Amino acid sequence: MSTISSSCPPSPSSPSGPSRTVVVGQGYVGLPLALRAVDVGHDVVGVDLDQRRVAALAAGTSFVGDVSDARLRRALDTGRYRPTADYADAREFDVAVITVPTPLRDSLPDLRYVESAARSLARLLRRGATVILESTTSPGTTAEVLVPLLEAGSGLRAGVDFSVGYSPERIDPGNADWTFETTPKLVSGIDAASLRRVSSFYEQLVEQVVPVSGTREAELAKLLENTFRHVNIALVNELAVAARELGIDAHEAIDAASTKPFGFMKFTPGPGVGGHCLPVDPTYLSWEVRRKTGRPFRFVELANEINEGMPAQVVERAEALLNDFSRAVRGAKILLVGLAYKPDSADARESPALRVAELLRTKGAHVLAVDPYVDDRDWPVGVERVDSARAAAECDLAVVLTPHSTVDLAPLAGLPVLDTRGVMPAQQAVRL
């Protein structure tokens, strides 16, 4: 990697005005960002290598719950939003934002999508442009992975010919209060000039920009946000298991503790963690600490062990509840209420409910599920789809995994119910 300079690269367009913007990845993170950029006047190319996704977007069909078809069509009608699977359509960009997935592969961070995006953008990079990474990753990725790939593929020098920054995504699917626009946005750059350009870009899109001194600090801040949640969820999950064995209502104890107006933040037990962050991001931090220091990050590794074990704990409790009614899990009809990883969201990525369904099917149960949000393409194989919780009347057991506000739980009353979220009255269900 070349030495990074703090000189300001020439600008093909004003950083504080409309520009030709490329957003790589048109999923839960990239699509809202792309459409917001259109709203403020940018010409936006949304690059995604999934041809079916691109075709759907071009036809005005959104698959992201936070983006309505109507909003997508308005963006298309402006002529300033173009979804494409061809990087050639991104030529002469002023700003490129990378919002591709950073999953785990064999329990290790997988940066293939970031690296592929960097190589593709490098061939199009011109002097004065800015490249921003939003994908969650381990500290050092922007400077140690992204910058060298951009330089090698373009022949230009970061910090001299073009700017580079990191601004972690903070998308919370289904959250109507904290949207892309209203959530404070961390911004960073590889040098002072890059930070100014990254800040100028996001100041047009969001209400509040929070500058961070360096890309490593911004990368670590993102991992800290989700590791904090991951560890605290693991704490209450283990507490719930221990409290049950002690004959104590963990939910009542947590509610009581949450009345303290300082020094406590409420987290509640559940069937595990899911989504695009919690099952992945803390592992990035743990991996980086072990790789760079040779020491384990014990809190993260313990939290992983506890939260990854919760689906099995749910199945064990379900078996015990069936036994109380003289039923075996093999051959039993079990209704799962909610498959998404969080309420009122269609996002089933890494959802613990999917693991619960898999384990129950492995044990010979006939598994049904109700979830009006999860699309058919994300529906687990071998799980029968039903329209409402009324299907529980024909089942031996219902398990509440994700309590969507649009799913009426009243039909579950009087039936054996395992409530993994503590949303039903204690007298109507057995809590996790």
Over the range 16-26, which residues count as b (16 or more CB within 10 Å of their CB) and which as e? eebbbbbbbbb
Beta bridge partners of 430: 418
DSSP secondary structure, 253-286, as one string: HHHHHTT-SSS-------S---TTTTTTHHHHHH
Point out the catalytic residue in the list 24, 231, 233, 277: 277
Query: Is residue 277 annotated as part of the catalytic site, yes or no?
Result: yes
Tokens of 332: 């039993």
Tell me 158's DSSP state.
Answer: B
CA pair distance 174, 274, nearest whole angstrom: 14
Cβ within 8 Å of residue 299, ≥6 positions away = 227, 231
CA pair distance 50, 360, nearest whole angstrom: 32
Tokens of 219: 């990368």
CA pair distance 109, 129, nearest whole angstrom: 28
Q: Which long-range contacts (CB under 8 A, 24 or more apart) does 238-243 make?
A: 238/306, 239/269, 240/269, 240/431, 240/432, 241/313
Task: Give the C-alpha distances (Å, rounded to integers) separating 219 from 98, 108, 189, 212.
Answer: 14, 17, 11, 10
Tokens of 232: 């605290």
Amino acid at 94: D
Over the range 165-201, which residues count as b (16 or more CB within 10 Å of their CB) and which as e? bbbbbbbbbbeeeeebeebebbbbbbbebbbbbbbbb
Cα four-point dihedral sign 147, 153, 158, 164: negative
Q: Phi-psi category of 24—alpha, beta or left, where left has phi over 0 and alpha has psi -120 to 50?
A: beta
**What are the φ and ψ backbone dihedral angles of 44, each rounded to 5 degrees?**
-120, 130
**What are the φ and ψ backbone dihedral angles of 140, each rounded to 5 degrees?**
105, -10
CA pair distance 202, 206, nearest whole angstrom: 6
Active-site amino acid positions: 277
